[in-house]
Amino acid sequence: MGNSKAFLLAIFLSVTAHHLSYVHADIAKSMYISWGNPNASITGDNLQLVLDQNSGSGAQSKKGFLFGSIEMLIKLVPGNSAGIVTAYYLSSTGTTHDEIDFEFLGNVSGQPYIIHTNVYTQGKGDREQQFYPWFDPTAAFHNYTIHWNPTAVVWYVDSIPIRVFRNYESKGIAYPNKQGMRVYTSLWNADNWATRGGLDKINWTGAPFIARYTRFRPRACTWSGAASITQCATVTPANWWTAPAYKQLSANQLSQMQRIRSSNMIYDYCKDSNRFNGVLPPECSLQQF
């Protein structure tokens, strides 16, 4: 009996090691500067992105993932951040790429940032939802987590869910479940659209602008090619994200999300019928929560 238990434990640990990414590896071991050197730096578990008149900057994860929980602590650019976008997102590559976004749209001093979320499937986006933060995102680090499994994508801010995008492939709606995605971060000049549709431009007298990231924790299934589609979606103890508890928000989580959406949500593509000529995307008529 003892040998049998040891054998099963060995299998479990082997599967876990195969599927799960590093949990406590620091940023220096998990990510690299992908553009904008020297306007970026990684030291231990800290990433600093810089934007000046010469360039913005960005970093990305060394590995790709398919399902799991992707967590990052971020402190946004303080002061007048009009025209600046700080991004943190998952994306595959190519014209039919999948993508799950957190973007933070800057604003003039004294006005809040906008938390901009979106999801792309097979190269198609146009699923934006936006929120005002209920805290000052420049005064301290806050936790932004993307939880992604075969059932749904959930965006969390400080452990509070703010949005859900459910899998309705059975109804002909594409869902991001067949492409591994890397994690990307960037700080860049978007003053042609980011703040009041481009009316407020970057005030370069405040440069350099700095966004800070720390505690990147991808508790996720590592993408290793097409075989990962089955491996990462199979319901096993190692694939903890497939457990029943992660298929639906709890009553408390649902209450938290509804409170934030009623008080802090400022845009929902599913309520913008003019944008879609009166025909909203099909998922808008389906239960997302």
Percent of the chain with pLDDT over 70: 92
Give residue 24's pLDDT.
59
Q: Which two tokens stand for residue 282?
A: 């099909």
Residue 258 has pLDDT above 90, yes or no: yes
| pLDDT bracket for residue 23 (50, 70, 90) | low
What is the per-residue pLDDT for 19?
A: 53
pLDDT the model gives residue 188: 98
Mean pLDDT throughout 40-59? 97
* Cβ-Cβ contacts under 8 Å for 149 (sequence gap 6 or more): 67, 68, 241, 242, 246, 247
Q: Give the angle 161-165-169 at the CA atoms, nearest 5°.
A: 155
CA distance 210 to 227: 40
Q: Mean of the pLDDT values across residues 248-268? A: 97
Among the listed residues 71, 99, 169, 283, the single catalytic one is 99
Domain definitions of the chain by residue range: 27-285
**In CATH, 27-285 is 2.30.40.10:** no
- Does the pLDDT of residue 5 top 50, yes or no? no
pLDDT for the residue 287: 86
The reported pLDDT for the residue numbered 11 is 32
Our answer to whether residue 128 is catalytic in this structure is: no
- Residue 2's pLDDT is 44
* Mean pLDDT of the 173-195 span: 97
Question: Is 80 exceeded by the pLDDT of residue 10?
Answer: no
Distance of CA 122 to the CA centre of its chain: 17
Active-site residue among 103, 128, 169, 283?
Answer: 103
pLDDT of residue 144: 98
**Percent helix, strand, coil in the chain (nearest 5)?**
20, 40, 40
Give the three-class secondary structure for 157.
Answer: strand
pLDDT over 80 at 125, yes or no: yes
CA distance linking residue 189 with residue 150, whole number of Å: 34
- pLDDT at position 118, please? 98
Per residue in 110-123, pLDDT (tens digit) is 899 999 999 999 99
Active-site residue, 169 included? no
In the block, which residue shows the tokens 């990052």? 72
Mean pLDDT of 6-35: 61
Which pair of structure tokens corresponds to residue 139?
A: 């005064």
pLDDT, tens digit, 9 for 90 and up, residues 64-76: 999 999 999 999 9
Q: How confident is the model at residue 288 (pLDDT cuts 50, 70, 90)?
A: confident
